[in-house]
Structure 1
Amino acid sequence: MDLKLQSKFSIDSVNQAQFIDSRRRRYILLFVSYITSAVMYIYAFKNLGAVDPILPMVLFITATAFLLNITYFHYNNNLNLACNIEAILVAAFVLGLVFIGGFNNTALYWVFPFPAILFGLLGVRNALISNVLLTSALAIILFVPDLALAHYKNAEQSRFITSLLIVILACWINEYFREQSHQAMELLQHNKEQQANTDPLTGLANRRFIDANLMQSFNLQPDVFFPLAVIACDIDSFKQLNDKFGHQAGDEVLKVIANIFRAHLRQQDIACRTGGEEFLLLLPKTSKIDAFKVAEKIRQQLSQQKLLSTDKAYTVTASFGVAESQQLAQLPTAIKLADQQLYQSKRNGRNQIN
């Protein structure tokens, strides 16, 4: 397939994958913001009468910060910023909770869900770095004497850190191979799309590409494509060429003609093989006059170049029809008109443009 078509499918695949991943991260963000903050408020209210007011204060502040962050996210819709802020709030809450000990020194039990949350918010690489840094900070709080307000047993501290590292490793393995699996599926889907939309002989787009993909792009971004010139092209006397030299020679000619199209078309132009020896060239932001010039360059190149390796004296020519479409609604009519002009060129003696 042409580089421009490969680029289009790559962009489509990336956009689809990014959309799915963004939706997953958004749901995790919503869960942490609403569900986790609700749980924090409940425990904050339950501990309002406690002797030590630090725990309910930490819970109230963190829950409120979660809600403020999600509110700001709904306002600006910046998912990356919201997830990064949420991750910072999660890390700060974990460190603060372990520092004060939580209710009856049960803070360590509440830490284990948060490594998975960080992986969901930040992605594999950033979450792994964040979790390692968070675990290191927790180890400092736990093992530096008299640093934390809470007091944990030595055996409890070491087993907690070990268990936390195992949880982080398990989360990393899960996220890493989930990501690898998605990439493999995206590549497989990308290859299937390429095969379905590409003519295997010439590497040009096929008719399905026009109907299934290109029309959608035209509809979504008409200003990028219109006015659009249409060039219909048909190789002259192709049946006689096949009858005289064989289908292998005909295939050789088709490949060379496809390369001539690539040489004379811009990156944004699209060449499609719509039939045996029939082609359709779509030139975005191009007038009919300019399309005539492009068609003439291709016609001259065809008539001057010796396309058959077995018979250098044999000349291959083509006939062309040109039309212009100002908007998407006119495109079917323009394609039909280009075909009519092409057959007029045939009737007028071939190897010409109308």
Structure 2
Amino acid sequence: MSIKNQSKLQRFGELQQARVIALFSLVGMSITFLMMCFAIKNANITLAISLLFASAVYGVAFYLVNNKNHVKLSSYIIIYSLYALMLYLVYSGGVASTGPLWIFIVPPVSLYVHGLRRGLINITVFVLLICLIMFIPQSVYAHAIYPIEFKLRLLYSFLTISFLSALYEYSRSQLYNNALELNQKLHHLAHYDDLTGLHNRRDAQRKLNKKIAVADTSKPLSILLCDIDFFKLVNDKYGHSAGDAVLTELSQVFKASLRETDYVARWGGEEFLFILAQTDQAAAFDVAERLRCAVFKHTVSLDDEDIKVTISIGIKEYQQDLTSDQLINDADKALYEAKRLGRNRSIPA
């Protein structure tokens, strides 16, 4: 996958996470504020103050993610304030000893915010802490009292929800990774030739149009249109697998012979298009001759056969107001002239 496409997917994922974090902050702020009102009604001032503080924390998290785009900071504020609030509800009992029933929101939120591995670690620590709170005798420190059946069923239910949430998070991450892999394959098919690994015709056309759009007299632009001489004879004599091997090896020769700023694509069949940025016709001719000589010296070894081929190259420098089609047509005419004059040569248009 290209860096550009990968960054797009990452930005999309970050945007989705920001929306979820903002929504959870808003819901958390509203629910804890409403719970605070019930606590005041029941004259439980300590619980009311705790819930008011939690509501304010969620409000800060909502502000940070919605107005400042601090997604990571907001997510940490949410998850750790959630842990603290849940532990307090287990410790104090909440309203009519129903506080522990809220802990079931911990697994999905923790796994979403922290991911599978870290989320499970945090959930494990959370379980150990609530066990300490509920099972340590009252003689050690005062805390809400729950029947043993309630405590055990609470833990069993919590562990079941944690398992199901982890399974969902694992499935979600697998689907996301599969989507990334599929996107990478589609991107490769859209931009690269499957046989040679070079850019394909579609990508070359896009690249050429882009270069033409910014070309000017101070930054010359040239193209080379290259064709393997008598390639049909290679296929007829040695078979199409040998022809594929020739195309593949010559593609590597081309890449090894080009400069970093040069671009090469398989234009179709045995034709290749080279886009040479900041290169006038004279310099393009030097590049073409270097490519031609490199191919001439190269031998494709296939089983017991050594195959040698040559290439012919048409050269054209971009002139103002030329379209990409006109530029390629002119290079193609020069290529035809190179073949007419005996092949294995470079001809400027």
TM-score category (smaller protein): 0.7 to 0.9
**1:117 paired to 2:109:** yes
- Residues 253 and 97 (structure 1 numbering): CA distance in 2 closer, same or farther, change over 3 Å? same
Distance change (3 Å), C-alpha of 1:313 and 1:18: closer
- Name the counterpart of 1:256: 249
Task: Output the amino acid matched with 2:290.
Answer: K
Secondary structure of the 1:280 match is strand
Question: Retained in 1: the 8 A contact 2:224–2:313?
Answer: no
Cα deviation, 1:123-180, whole Å, max 9, x if unaligned, reads: 1112111111112111111112234542222222222122211211111111112212
Contact kept? 1:128, 1:172, Cα under 8 Å: yes
Q: Mind listing any 5+ residue stretches in structure 2 that lack a counterpart? A: none
- Secondary structure at the aligned position of 1:145 is classed as coil
Contact 1:306 1:314 in 2 (8 A): yes
Q: Which residue pairs with 1:151 in the alignment?
A: 145
Specify whether residues 37 and 275 from structure 1 end up closer, same or farther in structure 2 by C-alpha distance, changes over 3 A only. Answer: same
Aligned partners of 1:234 and 1:318 also within 8 Å: yes
SS in 2 for 1:202: coil
How many angstroms apart in 2 are the aligned matches of 1:300 and 1:286?
Answer: 22
Tell whether the 8 Å contact from 1:319 to 1:345 is kept in structure 2 after alignment.
yes
In the superposition, the TM-score normalised over structure 2's length comes to: 0.80
In 1, the alpha carbon distance for the partners of 2:163 and 2:220 equals: 56
Would the alpha carbon gap of residues 247 and 134 (structure 1) be closer, same or farther in structure 2, given more than 3 Å must change? closer
* 308-317 vs 168-177, which moves further: 308-317
- Determine which of 195, 199, 203 is the counterpart of 1:201: 195
Are residues 1:83 and 2:86 paired?
no
Residues 168-207 of structure 1: pairs in structure 2 closer than 5 A: 168-207=162-201
After TM superposition, give the deviation of residue 19 of structure 1 in Å: 4.0
TM-superposed deviation, 1:106:
0.8
Amino acid at match of 2:122: S
Identity rate of aligned residues, in percent? 28
Question: Match for 1:78: what amino acid?
Answer: H
**Cα shift readout 1:55-94 (whole Å, capped 9, x = no counterpart):** 1111111111111122122343232232122211111111
Quote the RMSD (CA, aligned, Å): 3.6
Deviations 1:278-328 (A, max 9, x none): 112345x653466554433211111223447687685513214254699xx
Residue of structure 2 in register with 1:101 after alignment = 93
The change in CA–CA distance for 1:246 and 1:134 in structure 2 (over 3 A counts) is: closer
- CA distance in 2 between counterparts of 1:100 and 1:268 reads 68
Give TM-score, length-normalised by structure 1. 0.79
Instruction: Say which is worse superposed, 126-135 or 22-31, in terms of deviation.
Output: 22-31
> Do 2:220 and 2:317's aligned partners in 1 also have CA atoms closer than 8 Å?
no
Q: How does 1:198-237 map to 2 (within 5 A)?
A: 198-210=192-204, 230-237=223-230
| SS of the residue 1:234 aligns to | strand
Q: Which has the higher contact order (CA 8 A, sep 6+)?
A: 1
Alignment coverage as a number of residue pairs: 337
- Could you tell me which runs of 5 or more consecutive residues in structure 1 were left unpaired when the two chains were aligned: 1-8
State how 1:4-15 maps to structure 2 within 5 Å.
9=1, 11=3, 14-15=6-7
For residue 173 of structure 1, what is the amino acid of its counterpart? L
**Closer/same/farther in 2, CA of residues 175 and 247 from structure 1, 3 Å limit:** closer
Query: Alpha carbons of 1:243 and 1:43: their partners in 2 closer, same or farther (altered >3 Å)?
Result: closer
Residue equivalent to 1:4:
none
Cα distance between partner residues in 2 of 1:93 and 1:332: 67
Report the Cα distance in structure 1 between the residues aligned to 2:64 and 2:285, rounded to whole angstroms.
55
Q: Determine the C-alpha separation between the residues in 1 that align with 2:177 and 2:84.
A: 33
Which SS does the other structure have where 1:120 is aligned? helix
**Is residue 28–residue 117 contact of structure 1 (8 Å, CA) maintained in 2?**
no
Q: Which has the larger radius of gyration?
A: 2
Structure 2 vs 1, CA of residues 138 and 333 (structure 1 numbering), >3 Å: closer, same or farther? farther
| Partner Cα separation in structure 2 for residue 129 and residue 211 of structure 1 | 51
Cα distance in structure 1, aligned partners of 2:237 and 2:260: 36
Q: Residue 47 of structure 1 aligns to a residue in which SS?
A: helix
Q: Measure, in 2, the Cα distance between the counterparts of 1:239 and 1:340.
A: 20
Q: Does 1:273 align with 2:266?
A: yes
The residue type equivalent to 2:247 in the other structure is: L
Deviation for aligned residue 1:233: 1.9
- Assess if the C-alpha contact under 8 Å between 2:298 and 2:308 holds in 1: no
Change (3 A) 1:266 1:352: closer
